[in-house]
Chains A and B, each alone.
Chain A
């Protein structure tokens, strides 16, 4: 039983990382209709920024984290302004190619700036444990879960109660109508990208102690995509739930299922869910009346 709970918690923790990346994905997609294939690499940049502030400049962990988040918001805005905005109206193929190219570019730049080696990121939770009754949990994992809950709660409040949040929701629903009512859509897009990049950055720094910081970290994005689809592409709570489910399924599969199944368990689950509910768990199925 203890083993089960321990694995469950570590599965949820990794799932939270997938969830945060999927969240950024979905935020950007909902508002701008752009599928950002470089989102995993954006996460990687966030992890490297965290590495720079915490390990290279030796700032205290929380200050380094906040600084990295601040830099990522700027980074997101710059990406939107200089890379994606010129693509308005260019069609889906152009956007796909540009974001794929961006992922290659970011990997190359990271390799040149920080190097192709693997780096360790020290956190205050390193090697510490938390005891809940008889279950021993790694502080690293608990920290990830707690931080994700805090972040999601903050985002929920932001979207529900603040003007900008509501403006973002409006822009996601119907861009044209948003323009008509005077919402500064360009600025909102900028902010969405900033938010997406910031959440990816947090995910990267959370993941760093488990996975180490290196140029290929972005492949986690390949797990975040199915997480977003599972939750219903375009649903923010869906992205979180999808990410956590995939993390837990993977973790449990390694432990309890025959060798090798763990690699495909998450995807089999995705297929099953989509067969029953093609719009994903929380997605909305829009039907057209002909």
Chain B
């Protein structure tokens, strides 16, 4: 063989050896550590939410490691700031995949940034775990390595609507925001009513930025309904509820899960009394929570000198859920064993309550049930037990 051919063979042999070696290693997993990454808004419009989530997430990370880690490995999470900007989210995720070599991405925060980074995760074979965003993209169509935790708006609204249909309400009217979010709620409403063999009697959408809802409410009044459904963000919900009560119309109202918020109470004032909302995870209220949650609140306050909030609850719950999946994956951790591990989770409840979390090889959605809350004495109080999902 000539000089050229020898060196070619040598290079080929070396390359094969290198390839064989690296394929035996799982990206992001060493014998001491599991490396996860996350992108979350720490500086943009939902920074308050993001910072609370990261704080509580770090708290969970430390707890897990203090208890010995997962099958002898410590958990390390890289928390990157996305600024709620899809472009920035893509950049930091690229860096985490290529430079840091993360095993999986957890808690991608915000619909727009999380949807933007989803395709690259699937393409690189990096699991998408428990995005903090309710987009249906992460589970439809079903991808082996993508799991949701935060339910879609439709999945949360459907059990609540079905509950009222089962209780005898027949004529439903629906006011919704005419965009992706409202469409999501509408999907849930339609699905629930179909399961109850009913239909929406009268419905009207409005564009974001609409200021006066008297016309929409007047139209609903004409429909002679016995229940009003709302798929709106807090401010219009408060406006609509005020308009309804101003007309002395005592119809029961069920609002979508994002209405379960202090701002709706603050804006709607007395008119909000008696309004129902579909809820996912309840607020960790210092007065009316379980001892475990009270303990969590104390710990959070001591560590961060700030009260723990619903946002913190989500961050904490997601990291612990990820740990549960990693534990079930076993000591021989690979992407495939992680998938099997998460798919084996059934009937899991977060520390803060909320509907149970279930996965299977056909269903990666996580939390599909809902809770029901209602406004009493100017506060959100629980109403009944867990509502089952509507398929």
Partners in one complex: yes
Q: Does A239 sit at the interface, judged by CB under 8 A?
A: no
From 1 to 23 in chain A, residues with beta carbon under 8 angstroms from any chain B beta carbon are 3, 6-7, 10-11, 13-14, 17
Determine if A251 and B211 form an interchain contact, defined as CB atoms under 8 angstroms apart: no
Q: Are A259 and B267 in contact (CB under 8 A)?
A: no
Closest B residue to A264 by CB, please name it: B207
Please measure, in the bound complex, the distance between the C-alpha atom of A127 and the C-alpha atom of B245, giving whole angstroms.
9
Known: A127-B246, A212-B239, A263-B178. A255 touches B215 (CB 8 A): yes
Q: Select from chain B the residue with minimum beta-carbon distance to A260.
A: B205
Tally chain B residues at the interface, Cβ within 8 Å.
26
Name the one of B211, B234, B263, B266 contacting A211, with C-beta atoms under 8 angstroms.
B211
Is A216 on the interface with B (CB-CB < 8 A)? yes
Find out whether the CB atom of A14 lies under 8 angstroms from the CB atom of B212.
yes
Chain B residue nearest in CB terms to A3 = B218
Contacts of A216 in B (CB 8 A): 209
Q: Are B216 and A220 in contact (CB under 8 A)?
A: no
Among the listed B206, B207, B212, B219, which residue makes an inter-chain contact with A255, where contact means beta carbons less than 8 Å apart?
A: B219
A259 in complex: contacting residue of B205, B209, B214, B242, CB < 8 Å: B205
Q: A116-B45, A120-B266, A259-B203 are in contact. Are A214 and B218 (CB under 8 A)?
A: no
Contact of A214 among B216, B219, B235, B269 (CB under 8 A): B235
Main secondary structure of the interface of B (DSSP, over half): helix
Q: Is A210 an interface residue (CB 8 A)?
A: yes
Q: Which of A17, A138, A211 has the most C-beta atoms of chain B within 10 angstroms of its own C-beta? A: A211
Q: For residue A220, which residues in chain B have a CB less than 8 angstroms away from its CB?
A: 209, 211
- A117 contacts the other chain (CB 8 A): yes
The minimal Cβ–Cβ distance linking B163 to chain A, given in whole angstroms, is: 26
Supposing A116-B45, A210-B239, A259-B203 touch, asked if A254 and B234 sit within 8 A by C-beta, the answer is: no
| Residue-wise interface mask of B (316-351) relative to A, using a CB-CB cutoff of 8 A (1 in contact, 0 not) | 000000000000000000000000000000000000
| Bound-state Cα–Cα, A253 to B207, Å | 14
Residue contact B267 to A212, C-beta cutoff 8 Å: yes
- A245 shortest CB reach to chain B, Å: 15
Question: Does B13 have its Cβ within 8 Å of any Cβ on chain A?
Answer: no
Q: Does A156 contact B (CB under 8 A)?
A: no
* CB atoms of A250 and B218 under 8 A apart: no
Chain B residue with minimal CB distance to A111?
A: B45
Q: Do residues A210 and B211 form an inter-chain contact, with CB atoms below 8 A?
A: yes
- Interface residues on chain A, number (Cβ under 8 Å): 35
The answer to whether B235 touches A212 (Cβ under 8 A) is yes
Known A127-B246, A214-B235, A259-B203; contact A207-B218, beta-carbon cutoff 8 A: no
Cβ-defined partner of A219 (8 Å) among B209, B219, B234: B209
Whole-angstrom distance from the CB of B130 to the nearest CB of chain A? 26
Residues of B within 8 A of A138 (CB): 214, 246
| B205 proximity list for chain A (CB < 8 A) | 259-260
Are the CB atoms of B267 and A250 closer together than 8 Å?
no
Bound together, the chains give a CA A129 to CA B206 distance in angstroms of 25
Do residues B263 and A254 form an inter-chain contact, with CB atoms below 8 A? no
Residues of A within 8 A of B218 (CB): 3, 6-7, 254-255
Q: Does B142 contact A (CB under 8 A)?
A: no
Q: List the B side residues contacting A118 at CB < 8 Å.
A: 234-235, 263, 267
B211→A14 contact, CB < 8 A: yes
Contact of B215 among A17, A214, A250 (CB under 8 A): A250
Q: List 16 A-B contacts (CB under 8 A).
A: A6-B214, A6-B218, A7-B214, A14-B212, A116-B45, A127-B242, A127-B246, A212-B235, A250-B215, A251-B215, A254-B216, A255-B218, A255-B219, A259-B204, A262-B215, A263-B207
Listed from nearest, the 9 A-B pairs whose CB atoms lie closest are: A211-B211, A254-B215, A219-B209, A118-B235, A10-B214, A14-B212, A251-B215, A120-B267, A210-B212
